[in-house]
Structure 1
Amino acid sequence: MESSRSETLMTTLGFRPETGRLYDRMLPLAGRPVDEVASSLATSVERLRRDLEPLAEFDIVSLADGTLTVLNQTEVVARMLAITAERASVAHDRLLNISKAMPYVAGTVARAAAAQPADEQPLDGELFSSRYMPETLEALVGGSTGDLLWLRPDQWAMPWEDHTTAMVAEAIANGRRCRAIYPVRAMAEAPVAMAARARAGEEIRLLADVPTRLLVIGSTHAIIPEPLGNTSSPRIMVRQRGIVEALTLLFERLWAAGTPVADFERARHGAAQRSFLLEQLASGAQDEQIARRLGISLRTVRRRVAELMTELGATSRFQAGAEAARRGWL
C-alpha cells in the first residue's frame, strides 16, 4: 500500500511511473553507501547513477560523498512546489511583457494597412491557427519534390512522432534526402526517436541549441511557427520563393555549424558528448546552462566535467580547455 501511495505521489508531481517506483525503492536505502545500494539492486554504480538522473536533476536523490541521500515525501513535495512556483513566476513575467507589447503591435498593423500602395500583392502563404494534423503534412510532402530540411528542437515529444518518422522513411526510400538538426540534449531526452530517424536514413547534426522549429520542403514550401520558437499553433506555411530561399540559407548556416552524427549510438556515449561539453566550457557557460543545453542533470554535468579534467590531467577549467585545444579536441 505504501508503494502505491508513493508512486501516485510521484506521478502526480509529473514523474513517470517507473521513476516513482525507483524512488520508492531508494527511500528505505537512504544513508547507505552507493556501492552497497548498487549491489543490493544487482546493478553497477554507473548504471545506478544513470537510472537516478531524473530524480537527481531535482536534487531528490544524491550520491554525493559515496552515500545515497533521499528526500522524504514531504520534502519532495516542498521541493517540487518551489520549482513550480519559480517557473510560474517566469511565465507570469513573460506574459506580462507580451501584454504590454500588444498595443504597439496593433498600432503597427493598422499603420501598415493604411499605407499599403495599390500595386502591392500579398505574400504567397497562409497563417494557420488550427491544431496540427500529421495527415496534412503527409499530403504536402507526398505532393512535392526536393529535400526535406528540419530544425527539430523538441518535436520528438509530439504524439505523432511515429507517424512523421514513417513519412520521412517513405520519402527517403523514394530517393529524397532528409537532413535534420537537433539540440544535443535530444540524445538524452529522445534517444529512441532519434535512432528511429537515423535508421530511416535521416542525416543528423547536433547543435548546443536549436532556435526554432522549421521544415523546408524542396524549394517550394516552408513551415515555421508564428512567432518563431517551439509552438505548434499558429504556424505559417510559406510558398513565397524569396522567403523559402532565406529559410533554406538559415538552415544551411546552422547545418554547417552542427556536429555530424554518422553513428547515433556511438555519438550518444562518445566523442560527440565530450566535444559539446568542451565547447560549452570553452565558451564560459556555467554548469546550470550546460545542464539545460545538454538535457542532463546538474550533478551529471559536474561529474562529467570532473571526469574530463581527470582525463586531461587538469586542475582548472582553463587548464582543461588549453590541454583539450593542444590535443586537437576543440
Structure 2
Amino acid sequence: MEIGRSQTLMTALGFDPGSAQLYSRLLPLNGWPLVVVAATLSTSEEELRQEAAPLIESGVICVGETLTVLSPPAVVAHMLERAATRAQDAHDHLLKISQSVPYVAGTAARIPGPIGEEHPIDGEVIATEFTPETFERLVSATSGEMMWLRPSVTVHPSEMRFISVIEATIKAGRRCRGIYPATAWKNSPDVLRMRAEIGEEIRILPRVSTHLMVVGSTHAMFPDPLGPVQQPMVNVRQRGIVEVVTNYYEELWRRAMPVDGLDEEPSAERRLLLAELASGAQDEQIARRLGVSLRTVRRRVAELLEELNATSRFEAGVEAARRHWID
C-alpha cells in the first residue's frame, strides 16, 4: 500500500512510472552505502546511476558513497521550490520584456524644447569585430587604467593575442583589471591564470551579464543591447557617460571576490558560495550562477557546514563572518 502511494505521488509530480517505481524501491534504502544498494537491487552502481538519472537531476535523490533519498513530504517541498524558482524566472523574463515597451515609442520621443543648443553625443557604433589589432590601436591612442567585464572566456588564437597586448600595456605601467564569472573560472582556469601571471588584476562574480570595457576617463565600450555578445559595440567618449560606467564598474569590483594569482581557489570558491547563501539564494539559483550542478552545490554546502562545525546555514554564515570570510 505504501509503494502505491509513493508511485501515485511521484507520478503526480511529473515523474514517469519507471522513476516513480524506482523511488519507492530506493526510499527504504536511504543512507545505505551505494555498493550495497546496487547489490540489493541486483544491478551495478553505474547502471543504477543511469536508471536514477531523472531522480538525481531533480534532486530527489543524491548518489555518492551513500544513497540519500528525500522523504515524500520533503519531495513535495523540494518540487514546489523548483516550480516557484521556474515561475520567478519566467516572471523576471516577462518583466524585462515589458520594460522594453517604452523604447518602442522612445526612439521618436524628444525632450520638449527649447532646451538650448543641441550637440550629438561623442561616440560611434562599431559594427565590425573587435580584433586584437583594434584593441592595440585603442591602447596606443589612450592613457590611464583599463577595466573590463568578460561574461565568458574562450581559448583561441585571438585570445592569446589580446593577452599579449595586455601584457605590453601592463609593462608600460598601466593598470589592467578584469571581472569574470565563476563559470569562466571553472571552464577556463588556464586562461585566467595566464592573465593573472602577466599582472592583470582578476576578480570573480557569480555572474557577469554583459561585456564592458572602460579606458581611462575617456572611453566606455559595451554592446548594444547589453549582453554577452561582442558586436555591434558602442564606443562612447562622452565624459558623463564614461563616469557613470566607471562608477558601475567600481561597484562591481567592490562586490567581486579577489583571486590573487588564482592560488586561493578553494578559499575564494567558499567565499563565493557563502556570499550566495548570505544573499538568500536557493540551491538551484546558486547552481546556475556558479555554473555547477545542483548536486555539487549541495555537496559543497554540506562540506562548508562540516568545515565550520555548523548545524544550519545561518550558523555557518555567523561563523564565516566571525572568521572574516565574508563581509
Same fold (TM over 0.5): yes
Go from structure 1 to structure 2 and tell me whether the alpha carbon gap of 1:65 and 1:150 turns closer, same or farther (over 3 Å shift). Answer: closer
CA distance in 1, matches of 2:264, 2:227: 26
Letter aligned with residue 192 of structure 1: D
Q: Which residue of 1 is the match for residue 65 of structure 2?
A: 66
Pick closer, same or farther for the CA change 1:243–1:143 going to 2, 3 Å: same
1:275 matches 2:271: yes
Asked whether the 8 Å contact 2:62–2:295 carries over to 1, the reply is no
By how many angstroms is 1:213 displaced? 1.5
- CA drift at 1:171: 0.7
CA distance in 1, matches of 2:270, 2:100: 44
Following superposition, the deviation at residue 326 of structure 1 comes to 3.4
Q: How does 1:125-140 map to 2 (within 5 A)?
A: 125-140=123-138
1:171 aligns with 2:165: no
Equivalent position SS for 2:281: coil
Question: C-alpha separation between the residues in 2 aligned to 1:169 and 1:228?
Answer: 27
Distance across 1 between alignment mates of 2:151 and 2:197 = 19
Aligned residue for 1:127, secondary structure, equals strand
Question: For the structure 1 residues 111 and 204, does the alpha-carbon distance in structure 2 shift closer, same or farther, using more than 3 Å as the test?
Answer: same
Tell me by how many angstroms 1:115 deviates.
Answer: 6.0
What is the TM-score when the length of structure 2 is the normalising length?
0.67
Deviations 1:191-220 (A, max 9, x none): 011011111110112223334221111222
The verdict on how the C-alpha distance between 1:323 and 1:175 changes in structure 2, with shifts beyond 3 A counting, is closer
Q: Which secondary structure does the structure 2 equivalent of 1:230 belong to? A: coil
Shift of 1:305: 0.8
Alignment match of 2:283 (pick from 287, 293, 297):
287
Which runs of 5 or more structure 2 residues have no equivalent in the other structure? 1-32, 37-52, 68-85
- 1:158 Cα offset (Å): 7.0
- Whether 1:296 aligns to 2:292 is yes
Q: Which residue of 2 aligns with 1:315?
A: 311
**Pairwise mapping of residues 84-233 of structure 1 onto structure 2 (< 5 A)?**
104-112=102-110, 119-156=117-154, 160-233=158-231
Amino acid at match of 1:135: E
1:324 and 1:206 mapped to 2: Cα distance? Answer: 19
Which letter does structure 2 place at the counterpart of 1:189?
N
1:305 aligns with 2:304: no
1:239: how far off?
A: 1.0
Q: Is the 8 A contact 1:189 1:295 kept in 2?
A: no
Letter of the 1:317 counterpart = R
Look up the SS of the partner of 2:130 in the other structure.
coil
SS in structure 1 at match of 2:264 = helix
**Given residue 276 of structure 2, which amino acid in structure 1 is its aligned partner?**
Q
TM-score of the aligned structures, taking structure 1 as reference length = 0.66
Please give the per-residue CA displacement for 1:75-118, whole angstroms capped at 9, x wherever unaligned. Answer: xxxxxxxxxxxx9xx99x969975x7777424221122996867
Structure 1 residues without counterparts, runs of 5 or longer:
1-30, 35-54, 69-86
Deviation string for 1:33-67 (max 9, x for gaps)? 49xxxxxxxxxxxxxxxxxxxx99x949x971427
- CA RMSD between the two structures: 3.4
How many angstroms apart in 1 are the aligned matches of 2:234 and 2:250? 20
Structure index of larger Rg: 2
CA distance 1:306–1:155, change in 2 (3 Å): same
1:329 is aligned to 2:318: no
Partner of 1:235 in structure 2? 233
Deviation of 1:149 after TM superposition, in Å, equals 0.9
Mapped partners of 2:64, 2:105: distance in 1? 60
Whole-angstrom CA distance in 2 between matches of 1:290 and 1:124: 40
- SS of alignment partner, residue 111 of structure 1: coil
Equivalent position amino acid for 1:305 in 2:
V
Query: Residue 219 of structure 1 aligns to which amino acid in structure 2?
Result: S
Identical-pair percentage: 48
- For the Cα contact (< 8 Å) 2:130–2:231, is it kept in 1? yes
Task: Please state how far the C-alpha of 1:288 moved relative to its aligned partner.
Answer: 1.2
